Amino acid sequence: MNKKVFIVFFILFISISLLIITIFNTHGENYKEATINSVLIKGDTTRYKVKFVKKIDGDTIVVNFNNKDLKIRYLLIDTPETVKPGVKVQRFGPEASELNGRLLNNAKTIEIEFDVYQKEDKYHRGLCYVYADGKSVQEELLAAGLAEIKYVKPPDVRYLERYKKAQNKAKSNKRNLWSNS
């Protein structure tokens, strides 16, 4: 009899422990909400439709989000500089900027997606994944060898593995940034 009671309590204890762990992992300290342009951003996989306003360079754009302009800095990537004050135009910067603009100018639908924690950088730019007609703009820039993975700040790493695959393919094919010339 005592053995049966012990087993029941042990199973109950394990079940409650797993439930508590699940709750803390879902709503733990790495999850952060923010309000941007009067929209509550939860950091889930919600994609917000936006209107493309202009391209700044290879990894920064301006969109209209909830009837207000919002400058966006792409998450997890960096492209060579073309417009940074005091910095010369870097090799492959114009090409990255041109591809970024072409992807967005030709798209019928532009969407942005925030990650779980940091929603803005210190310059108040939205930190987002950007999609042109459902395709990841970051992934396209990485695959073309015109961007590299940078500024990786966990827990905002939702697509890091996908991006690594795109970058590694560009490296193995010696595309642009990864070429020897």
Residue-by-residue pLDDT tens, the chain, 181 positions: 577 777 777 787 777 766 666 555 544 446 799 999 999 999 999 999 999 999 999 999 999 999 999 999 999 999 999 999 999 999 999 999 999 999 999 999 999 999 999 999 999 999 999 999 999 999 999 999 999 999 999 999 999 999 999 999 999 999 999 998 6
Residues 41 and 126 in one domain: yes
Q: Which two tokens stand for residue 62?
A: 């301006």
Question: Structural domain of residue 8, as residue ranges?
Answer: 1-29
Q: Which of 29, 33, 47, 81 is catalytic?
A: 81
Residue 102 known to be catalytic: no
Q: Which of 29, 33, 47, 73 is catalytic?
A: 73
Q: Which two tokens stand for residue 145?
A: 């060898």
pTM of the predicted model as reported, rounded to 2 decimal places? 0.82
Residues 35 and 86 in one domain: yes
Residues 78 and 150 in one domain: yes
Residues 17 and 95 in one domain: no
Residues 3 and 72 in one domain: no
Residue 90: burial class (beta carbons within 10 Å; 0-12, 13-18, 19+): middle
Residues 59 and 145 in one domain: yes
For residue 108, which phi and psi values (nearest 5 degrees)?
-85, -30
Instruction: Provide the domain count of the chain.
Output: 2
Q: Which two tokens stand for residue 173?
A: 């094919």
Residue 117 DSSP symbol: S
Residues 87 and 171 in one domain: yes
Residue 175 known to be catalytic: no
Does an H or E element contain 102, and which?
helix 93-105
Residues 7 and 94 in one domain: no
Residues 35 and 22 in one domain: no
CATH number of the domain within which 81 lies:
2.40.50.90
Q: Which of 91, 95, 111, 125 is catalytic?
A: 125
For residue 176, which phi and psi values (nearest 5 degrees)?
45, -105
Cα separation, 7 vs 3, in Å, equals 6
* CA dihedral sign of residues 68, 73, 79, 84: positive
Cα separation, 57 vs 134, in Å, equals 21
Residues 130 and 171 in one domain: yes
3-class DSSP assignment, residue 32: coil
Residues 58 and 112 in one domain: yes
